[in-house]
Amino acid sequence: MHKARFAIFTLSFLLLMALIGPLLSPYAYSDIQLELKNTAPCLKFWFGTDELGRDMFTRVWWGARISLFVGITAALIDMIVGILWGSIAAYIGGKAEELMMRVCDILHAIPYLLIVILLTVIRGSGIVTILIAMTLTGWINMARICRSQVLQLKQNDYITAARALGASPVRILFRHLLPNAMGPIIAAMTLTIPTAIFTEAFLSFLGLGIQAPAASWGVMLNDGVSAMRYYPWRLFFPAIMITLTIFSFNLLGNSLRDSLDPRLNR
């Protein structure tokens, strides 16, 4: 319980600062001040400045907006697509289920970076490209979890009773099966968010994601690596924010999984 509280407090602070952090600084994330380049953290620049004199405090919290938006949006899309695909496959059963799950296996076998590179060539870099790349195959794990839950639940007596009373498949699926399967699904979605945040940072670090001058944690990490020896704050602040965010989401996801999974409660 204490772990969940710590995670919720940390994530609430990060979300709040993502909203108001850039407003607390008089500088925009793209303001170039070459005469102030590589200024160490001080009262004027709380997180220092980068090689172009841009305020790192503003850029870090602007990057938080991008990273959290990408992570949460990708997780929501994965959850919606995965729930629909997995639950329908499990409820229908038979050859249709087998075909739908084989489609998942084929998509899962496609190298992820290949998808990203192809989309970057076709669409160019940006948030939309990253979201498409992450969600093209990201929903597969959620579909498998949802399918597993529905396969267990549809054998229960109350589902048989609902069928006997003439309930439609849609009503059974959305009124009886999915509400009872939401515990593991929500826990899995919470664990999907840090993966998406790390993926966005990784792609931006490689130059396949968000492009400068936009502020993204991955972009700032890429800029800070070369200056790590002489200007360590340029790497430290975005790195510590990514670490805190991913750690907190994983902590919250594990706590939710432990509390919502009835098998673990036994």
Q: For each of the chain's 266 residues, which pLDDT tens digit applies?
A: 677 888 889 999 999 999 998 888 888 888 888 888 888 888 888 898 888 888 899 999 998 988 889 888 988 998 899 999 988 888 888 888 889 989 988 888 888 778 877 887 787 777 888 888 888 888 888 899 888 888 888 888 888 788 888 888 888 888 888 888 887 888 888 888 888 888 888 888 777 777 777 778 888 888 888 888 888 888 899 899 999 998 988 888 888 777 766 554 54
Query: What does the pLDDT read at residue 16?
Result: 92
Adjacent-strand bridge partners of 55: 49
Which residue range is the domain that position 228 belongs to? 2-265
Please report which residue ranges of the chain form alpha helices under DSSP H. 2-20, 56-92, 94-109, 112-123, 127-153, 157-164, 169-171, 178-206, 217-225, 233-260, 262-265
What is the distance between the terminal CA atoms of the chain, rounded to a whole angstrom? 17
Total domains, the chain: 1
Separation of alpha carbons 239 and 221, rounded Å: 7
Q: What are the residues whose beta carbons fall under 8 Å from the beta carbon of 176, sequence distance 6 or more?
A: 153, 158, 159, 162, 167
Query: What does the pLDDT read at residue 90?
Result: 87
Closest CA to 203 of 128, 107, 125, 121: 125
Closest CA to 136 of 122, 147, 150: 122
CATH code, domain carrying 247: 1.10.3720.10
Query: What does the pLDDT read at residue 1?
Result: 62
Q: Is the entire prediction scored with pTM above 0.85? A: no
